[in-house]
Amino acid sequence: MHLYVHISFLSLIEPIDLFLHVHDDQFTMDTDSEDLNEEEEEDDEQESDDDTGFFPIDEHVVQSSQPNNQPIRTSSEQSNKYSSGLTATNTHPQDNNFEYVVLSQEEIVKYMVECIKEVNEVIKLPSTTVRLLLHHFRWDKEKLMERFYDPNHQEELFRQAHIVNPFKKTTPTPTQLTSSSQRTTHRQVSQSSSDQTCAICCSTKSSSEMTGLECGHNFCINCWQYYLTTKIRDEGIGQTIPCPAQCDILVDDKTVLQLIRTPEVRQKYQHLITNSFVECNRNMRWCPGTNCTNAIKAAYCDVAMVVCTGCNTSFCFQCGQSWHEPIKCKWLKKWQKKCHDDSETSNWIAANTKECPKCHATIEKNGGCNHLICKNQSCKYEFCWVCLGAWEPHGSSWYNCNRFNEDDAKKARDDQERSRAALQRYLHYYKRYHNHHESLRLESKLLSEVQKRMESMQQQMSWIEVQFLQIACDVLRQCRQTLMYTYPFAFYLKRNNHSIIFEQNQADLEHATEELSGYLERDSNQITNLTEMKQKVQDKYRYCSTRRKVLLDHVAEGYDCDYWEYNEDL
């Protein structure tokens, strides 16, 4: 979040074997069998065929996980599975046809390679170059094609992507430092009789110990390895590693994998590339579930609930947050920012302190006396806390402040009252939002206790007869989550007739949810009649489910008919 958001996803991605061999036209990254010091034996005509790949794909590994031809599920189907047979409610009815598919880690890599191959078949450039271009366009293939075939902007395209224009390469000559610095494969430079000086460590190296990029900047292999390892492992940079000479040309994947030999660093590099691929792709989202490495791929980006089949986590596909019906992504983001920044600290200061009328230093009253003296050594102004007027004219009737009702004093008191009212309003909604958030967290532990209770109840009932407790837990979780997000939604609403109806629905659902929670948390020893208890729980979770649907349907109707007006300046 994760995501998010926003936090790094690298800790959620399990290692993928970088040393898998592939067959036929699959891509390869296994270069361990190659010697960095060997001379190039392939001619220019063979280079384009050799430079086909990026990530390795083990067909057996991919097929053993979720197949690519798995049925695409709609959000309604996923929701029904998640809610154990209960009907899920979407804010937008059209989201019922929102199609998406859950991809495992191996399938993400395979999909990325297929995107590279698809573009490579058209523009006929090395796959590592294609990968850098796609990253520059956030994996928008159509936009890349449009810019690539625009002759007036082709040079600008490669310059902005920090890639040497492959159509303007000069033919290598014997006077150049190394022939490989101008070759598309970026392989180890050929040996020559002359020694060279590394610009990083300033040591003299033989030509066989030097290598570089197409920009022509060559450094020794040891410095290259240290530089790349630092960028990848320490700085977390993978997809945009610049040339050490600071010429802005990016290091391609093949160069990185030829030089880096440590498996840990190679795996970290692939994690960075894969993570960037998902985050840059507007039609893909990482699952925010704990320790889940799956991603969701959809045909388009929209506000819709998606459910990961690996961990059963439901979340909003558009923003990647937990499913936050009924509030929209825009207002949720604004609410979360308000909760995490210092805006409410400022409100507290405004509500509980005053400024010195002379030097404007912030002063907090810590006693009962209304005769204040500013502690600013350069000020020491004496004034009345009540009216903020100068203290001297108050005389013996200071407590009435009847001589000081000027507009400035009145404005100061009004501003403070408004700040205090705004703070109280925020705290009202925040406390209830936070309370449901904590209840949701604590009630997540309730499931294990309920499962134990279900096992003990099977002494008197069958397995199918005790499933009502599992359904009740699911309904309770759904209602808690919905109620949690109703409070930031209500915080930004302007008051009108429909907001009053919304608050009534909210109160009804909240009351029923607390009763259902009480039933589920009741001690088993207090239950004397299982049949009666079962009937009460079933009636209550059905009522909760109905009231939740009524609330969400009303909010959805408000979105469609523009019932809702918002306080933009909160």
Give the percent of the chain with pLDDT over 90: 22
Residue 399 and residue 285 in one domain: no
Q: Total domain count for the chain?
A: 4
Q: Please check whether residues 154 and 183 belong to one and the same domain.
A: no
What's the CA gap between 208 and 189, in Å, rounded?
7
Look up residue 52 and give its DSSP letter.
-
For 491-504, what is each residue's pLDDT tens digit?
999 999 999 999 99
Alpha carbon dihedral 212, 218, 223, 224, in 10-degree steps, equals: -10
Is the same domain home to 139 and 213?
Answer: no
Q: Does the pLDDT at position 344 exceed 80? A: no
Residue 183 lies in a domain: yes
Both tokens assigned to 219 = 């450094």
Range of lowest pLDDT (7-16, 178-187, 432-441, 459-468): 7-16
Burial class (CB in 10 A: 0-12, 13-18, 19+), 389: buried
Beta bridge partners of residue 219, listed in sequence order: 211
- The larger pLDDT score, comparing residue 402 to residue 99, is at 99
Q: What is the pLDDT of residue 330?
A: 92
Using the structure block, give the residue that is written with the tokens 């989201």. Answer: 95
Q: Which amino acid is at 501?
A: I
Closest CA to 67 of 111, 21, 1, 14: 111
Upper half-sphere CA count for residue 333 (Cβ side, 13 Å) = 11
Shared domain for 148 and 293, answered yes or no, is yes
pLDDT digits (tens, 9 = 90+) for 147-186: 898 888 888 889 888 888 888 755 443 334 343 443 433 4
- Please indicate, yes or no, whether residues 37 and 159 belong to a single structural domain of this protein: yes
Q: How confident is the model at residue 216 (pLDDT cuts 50, 70, 90)?
A: confident
What distance lies between CA 57 and its chain's CA centroid? 27
Residue 539 lies in a domain: yes
Tokens, residue 118: 């698809």
Are residues 157 and 174 located together in one domain of the fold? no
Q: CATH no. for residue 252? A: 3.30.40.10
- Would residue 349 count as lying in a domain? yes
Same domain, 436 and 532: yes
Question: Rounded to the nearest 10 degrees, what angle do helices 141-148 and 127-136 cross at?
Answer: 110
Token readout for 390 is: 């100068």
Same domain, 149 and 293: yes
**What integer best gives the mean pLDDT of the chain?**
75
- Cβ count near 521 (within 10 Å): 13
List 311, 329, 369, 379, catalytic entry: 369
Q: Is the peptide bond before 151 cis (omega within 30 degrees of 0)?
A: no
Residue type, 426: Y
Full DSSP string of 470-526 = HHHHHHHHHHHHHHHHHHHHHHHBPPSHHHHHHHHHHHHHHHHHHHHHHHHHS-GGG
Same domain for 284 and 152, yes or no, is yes
Assign residue 469 the CATH number of its domain.
1.20.120.1750
Cα gap 184→48, rounded to integer Å: 8
Contacts (Cβ under 8 Å, ≥6 apart) of 444: 477
Q: 383, 413, 443 — which closes off a domain? A: 413
Same domain membership, residue 105 and residue 19: yes
Q: Would you say residue 1 lies in a domain?
A: no
In the structure encoding, which two tokens stand for residue 287, read together? 């699952």
- pLDDT value, residue 214: 84
Which structural domain range is residue 450 located in? 423-561
Residue 55 lies in a domain: yes
Q: Can you give the pLDDT at residue 392? A: 75
Q: Is 329 a catalytic residue?
A: no
Higher pLDDT, 407 or 33: 407
The model's pLDDT over 289-300, given as tens digits with 9 standing for 90+, comes to 888 889 999 888
What is the Cα–Cα distance from 95 to 437, expressed in whole angstroms? 26
Which run of H or E residues covers position 371?
strand 371-373
Q: Between 75 and 235, where is the model more confident?
A: 235
Query: What is the chain's alpha carbon radius of gyration, rounded to the nearest angstrom?
Result: 33
Exposed / middle / buried, residue 139 (Cβ in 10 Å: 0-12, 13-18, 19+): buried
Residues ≥6 apart with Cβ < 8 Å to 474: 82, 83, 84, 86
| pLDDT score, position 8 | 34
Task: Note the pLDDT tens digit of each residue in 36-90.
Answer: 344 444 444 444 444 434 444 333 333 333 333 343 444 444 333 333 332 333 3
pLDDT: is 420 or 372 the higher one? 372
Both 83 and 133 in a single domain? yes
Structure tokens at 330: 């825009």
DSSP line for 86-119: PPP--SSGGGGG-EEEEE-HHHHHHHHHHHHHHH
Q: Please compute the mean of the pLDDT values over residues 2-14 and round it to a whole number.
A: 34
**Do residues 400 and 356 both lie within one domain?**
yes
The owner of tokens 């259902």 is 516
Reference 441, options 491, 484, 475, 472; nearest CA is 484
- Shortest CA distance to 535 belongs to which of 481, 485, 474, 461? 461
Percent of the chain clearing pLDDT 70 (strictly above): 73
Nearest residue to 70 via CA among 45, 19, 104, 115: 104
348 domain residue, yes or no: yes
Average pLDDT over residues 471-490: 94
398 belongs to a structural domain: yes
Confidence of residue 27 (pLDDT cuts 50, 70, 90): very low
**Distance (Å, whole) CA 157 – CA 150:** 9
Higher pLDDT, 80 or 108: 108
* The last residue of a domain, from among 268, 299, 333: 268
- Of 235, 268, 301, the residue that ends a domain is 268
By the 8 A CB rule, do 207 and 179 touch? Answer: no
pLDDT tens digits, one per residue of 432-451: 998 999 888 887 778 778 88
Structure tokens belonging to residue 437: 């958030």
Where would I find the H helices in 281-397? Answer: 329-340, 343-352
The CA-to-CA distance between both ends of the chain, in Å, stands at: 25
Contact 274, 308 (CB under 8 A): no
User: Is residue 141 included in any domain, yes or no?
Assistant: yes
Q: Tokens for 114?
A: 């297929």
